[in-house]
Chains A and B, each alone.
Chain A
Amino acid sequence: DVKVTQSSRYLVKRTGEKVFLECVQDMDHENMFWYRQDPGLGLRLIYFSYDVKMKEKGDIPEGYSVSREKKERFSLILESASTNQTSMYLCASRAQGRGHSYEQYFGPGTRLTVT
């Protein structure tokens, strides 16, 4: 059974702290994604990675960085958390290549509050 796990369901951090959000998938998927979900804005793509050590900016990369050292793990880093980064963060993974669908599998999400 497909599984994407995220390190925390709820997280509270202070302004200026460095924050790490971890995502692990067990499906040997090449592609991994980080989104944030905000009311009225839906899911906005922050970064994605199409292979180990490869990354591309999404629509809202400012204030974030990512790391993909191993195929199964994709980390989102907030270098200096700010209150406008309070949001629900969702990680997803997807197989790449011929014969694979475009379907993404999502983790349960991390609700981050920055105070």
Chain B
Amino acid sequence: DQQVKQNSPSLSVQEGRISILNCDYTNSMFDYFLWYKKYPAEGPTFLISISSIKDKNEDGRFTVFLNKSAKHLSLHIVPSQPGDSAVYFCAASARRDMRFGAGTRLTVKP
């Protein structure tokens, strides 16, 4: 039973437009949420995170929003660039562990 879910396996957007990636979780004990980016043949790299005491965190073109009541978070990329094309994983942590979603493959078209 997956505790972190990314229901969209893929997303395609035009360069310069906004990319919105979504993530839902079921475990109310999760108190920290992260987004990772993964290129083929490489390990995931950390992108941005948010604590459960916040509802928004921004870092350059990347913003993560957290809606605790809905157990939902999203990653916004504005403006999207072709180099953003990768698989994006949502992750959630409670104390010592970390759980990941299935990933969303983002393709940004020039």
Which residues of A are in contact with B by a Cβ distance under 8 Å?
4, 31, 33, 35, 40-45, 48, 50, 56, 58-59, 90, 92, 94, 96, 101-109
Contact = CB atoms under 8 A, between A and B. Distances in A.
B103 A42 contact: yes
Contacts of B98: 33, 45, 48, 92, 94, 102, 104
A42 B96 contact: no
A106 B43 contact: yes
B99 interface: yes
B44 to A, nearest CB: 5
B12 to A, nearest CB: 18
Interface of B: 2, 6, 9, 32, 34, 36, 41-46, 49, 89, 91, 93, 96-103
A41 B96 contact: no
Nearest to A48: B97
A92 B82 CA distance: 27
B105 to A, nearest CB: 10
A105 B49 CA distance: 14
B41 A42 contact: no
A44 B6 CA distance: 13
A53 to B, nearest CB: 15
